[in-house]
Structure 1
């Protein structure tokens, strides 16, 4: 941006409006002046042409009387500039005004030989006052010409006369001969110049006034329009790391600034949510990682302090358990840290019934713990990644096994357009107020339980995240006994039909 251009939006708006008004008004001034000048000049030419016709008619009327009829005034006044020229090139009569305007005036040329009776011409001549070049008459004039035939010599003699009328200094007698005369009449520019001068004076007053008014209106309008923006800026300046609760004021108008304010508040809501979530995540993650790291360090320090009496296989086993738990927590955190928008939609088709059978069979091989059984009647094709769907079911089973008394049941059914996966246990269940909180990161309903006995607090969070990324849902449903977690995934087998849950 140029150095002379103001940085302020309000000042730049006012300056832009002023410059635009100057350009528009200047162009309008010049265009209107040109139009008015052309119209006035055309009117002056038409009026002069009418006066020239009167001069010709005066000569024709006098010629019909054989030169004995006097010449009519023909509408000539003291300000009229005219000249009558004979075919010889000599001036018959000219106006005194013409001599005054140009003391060194030379006669205009006569009409060409053989010119028709209706011959007319338009030419331009420059009058030079001589000693006073600054006079307004020192200019170029438009001159109209016309011929008159068979004019008696009595209406011409003597030649070279000057006056305000055609018969000024006329003797009224002469030889019985007829001549052709060329009549010239100057178009007076005074009315046009006077009107244009008045127009220029008026525009010279109103154009600067209009520019100032336009700049002032633009200044105040921009200030009024930017007032909400300034309020938004002040509120945003107050938003800091500990003040995400502030919101910008939304003006009552429905313009772009109001939409900007609403969008800004929406963005601040997302920032506050992300900030709160990050703080909870950092606090919970640090707490979760501190426990296995502390156990690992304490076990190794005790073993090293009593190296001769330490049961190193048991120490290695406990350390390995802590490392595995750290790996699970780290893997879960990495999984949750991935932006769902960056992951392409799953394209493969997986039979969820096979996943259920494999997971249930794997659980049945583990000694101790509640019994795990499945109820599946038909194939359940869904679009997804096999590893992710296995992890979803594994996390649901881990949660159910951890809280069940004796039995965990996996049911798989089909509803119109979707596959329904249910995992039920006969444990204490999940209270209704906590059915959404269990999906929060590191959420625990039994805080008295030790971390080794419980999970990492990320299993259900990951399960819902996987279901969401596969276009489905995961929620806690009502159950007569224990907890009942229901996952719904889009069916990949076509239009879909109804299938009752087993």
Structure 2
């Protein structure tokens, strides 16, 4: 912003409106004046031609001419000698040279419009010192031809233009002032809601995210700005609330294994001579491993998601590898039902982790069996993990994907989980352009992943 231009929106709006009004009115003034001048001049020429006809007829009949005011005329013969003129002509221009006669052989209706300048020698500032429009025509008398000239009087035109200028000199600045004032008031009225929004936003802080800006009743850009601002504040508050819950849950989840680890070590050290140190080490190792899993999952959720590579992964291979690994572990039987290849764009390690987390969750809750199904459907790869456990109530099918969310009956049993497995699985599915939902199943829980298919 330059130094002379105001930084205030209200002032700059008023100044811009005033400048624009001044330019428009000035151009309109000049254009209208030019048009008015031309029309007045044409009217004056037309009126003078009528007088010229009367002057020519009077000269031909030898009667005195009926002219008005200080009309200036001249009559010249065929040789160019002046035979008659008004007394003003030589008084206003003592060195006046007669105008030329009509050309030889000119028809009887010959007319001409020309220019002539009167030059008062001793008084160069006289108003008569100017260029005049002169109209002329041919007439005859006693068998001789004469050319009659009559000067067009500019005074009526000049008086009208002067009155026009005097009027606009007053009204144009007045119009500019009124426009600037109207722009000032309109800008103030338009910016009043913006100022209210600014004041309310100034009160928003980390501990007062519940404040919202006022939305004006109008449906203009300011109202949309206020609505968008409130929607943004809603998202910020939701993110802040999620962060607070996440920190509280993370603190709780980390506190339990740390407390167990500390208690076990303190008891063992208190009775060092009777402690079963291998057993203490095994219990401590389990707690450390649980801490490690929780920390790894927290880091995975905390970092910004990396861009998914453009590789193509066959989910059939991922299912086969994961099911084969589970066959070597104790617990419920894990079987697969694969209809064929299911190539999807993505990262193999992340997709393996998605399925591993779903299988970990299913194995912990299954009574005897877990089934993994893979099929292609409407341009998508559909991966289902079904267990024969107690299942997920309909009201909790979204809550199970929240961080550290566990159902009440599962919390006592789920000693090995971190509460982040399903959250991470859904995060991976969404980042691969798909979805993860808990749906109805014949027995137990049924988690369904849908991913867009890709070529191989």
TM-score exceeds 0.5: yes
Residues 122, 144 of structure 1: 8 Å contact kept:
yes
Give aligned pairs, total: 450
Partner of 2:20: 20
Paired residue for 1:194, among 125, 149, 159?
A: 159
Unaligned runs of 5+ in 2: none
Residues 435, 451 of structure 2: 8 Å contact kept:
no
Q: Which shows bigger deviation, 432-441 or 293-302?
A: 293-302
Greater gyration radius: 1
Partner of 1:350: 314
Partner of 1:376: 337
TM-score (norm 1): 0.77
Partner of 2:192: 227
The reply on whether 1:434 has 2:425 as its aligned counterpart is no
Q: Distance in 2 between matches of 1:21 and 1:493?
A: 62
Unaligned runs of 5+ in 1: 63-70, 153-177, 495-502
Q: Distance in 2 between matches of 1:459 and 1:322?
A: 18
Deviation string 1:87-126 (CA, Å, 9 cap, x unpaired) is 5665422213334544x24232432773635363512213
> What are the equivalent positions in structure 2 for 1:237-316 lying under 5 Å apart?
237-292=202-257
1:395–1:99 CA distance, 2 compared to 1 (3 A): same
Residues 474, 485 of structure 1: 8 Å contact kept:
no
Deviation string 1:193-216 (CA, Å, 9 cap, x unpaired) is 121122112222321222222222
1:4–1:285 CA distance, 2 compared to 1 (3 A): same
How far residue 219 of structure 1 moved from its aligned partner, in angstroms, is 2.0
Partner of 1:55: 55
Partner of 1:211: 176
> What are the equivalent positions in structure 2 for 1:91-130 lying under 5 Å apart?
91-102=82-93, 104-111=94-101, 114=104, 116-117=106-107, 118=110, 120=112, 122-128=114-120, 130=122
Q: Distance in 2 between matches of 1:205 and 1:493?
A: 76
Partner of 1:143: 134
1:451–1:229 CA distance, 2 compared to 1 (3 A): farther
TM-score (norm 2): 0.84
> What are the equivalent positions in structure 2 for 1:428-467 lying under 5 Å apart?
428-446=390-408, 453-467=415-429
1:442–1:112 CA distance, 2 compared to 1 (3 A): same
Q: Distance in 2 between matches of 1:56 and 1:90?
A: 17
Residues 439, 448 of structure 2: 8 Å contact kept:
no
Residues 382, 490 of structure 1: 8 Å contact kept:
no
Deviation string 1:22-45 (CA, Å, 9 cap, x unpaired) is 111100110010011011111212
How far residue 395 of structure 1 moved from its aligned partner, in angstroms, is 1.4
Q: Distance in 1 between matches of 2:198 and 2:413?
A: 47
Partner of 1:488: 449
Partner of 1:67: none
Paired residue for 2:387, among 416, 424, 431?
A: 424
How far residue 19 of structure 1 moved from its aligned partner, in angstroms, is 0.8
1:274–1:346 CA distance, 2 compared to 1 (3 A): farther
Residues 200, 212 of structure 2: 8 Å contact kept:
yes
How far residue 273 of structure 1 moved from its aligned partner, in angstroms, is 1.6
Residues 350, 385 of structure 1: 8 Å contact kept:
no
Q: Distance in 1 between matches of 2:35 and 2:395?
A: 83
Deviation string 1:283-336 (CA, Å, 9 cap, x unpaired) is 333444455556667778899999999987667656654554344233322332
How far residue 450 of structure 1 moved from its aligned partner, in angstroms, is 8.2
Residues 422, 485 of structure 1: 8 Å contact kept:
yes
Paired residue for 1:391, among 353, 357, 360?
A: 353
The reply on whether 1:362 has 2:325 as its aligned counterpart is yes
Residues 410, 423 of structure 1: 8 Å contact kept:
yes
Residues 123, 143 of structure 1: 8 Å contact kept:
yes
1:143–1:445 CA distance, 2 compared to 1 (3 A): same
Q: Which shows bigger deviation, 137-146 or 236-245?
A: 137-146
RMSD: 3.6
Structure 2 SS opposite 1:267: helix
Q: Distance in 2 between matches of 1:313 and 1:333?
A: 30
Structure 1 SS opposite 2:104: coil
Q: Distance in 2 between matches of 1:448 and 1:350?
A: 33
1:124–1:468 CA distance, 2 compared to 1 (3 A): same
Structure 2 SS opposite 1:3: coil
Q: Which shows bigger deviation, 307-316 or 195-204?
A: 307-316
Q: Distance in 2 between matches of 1:148 and 1:304?
A: 143
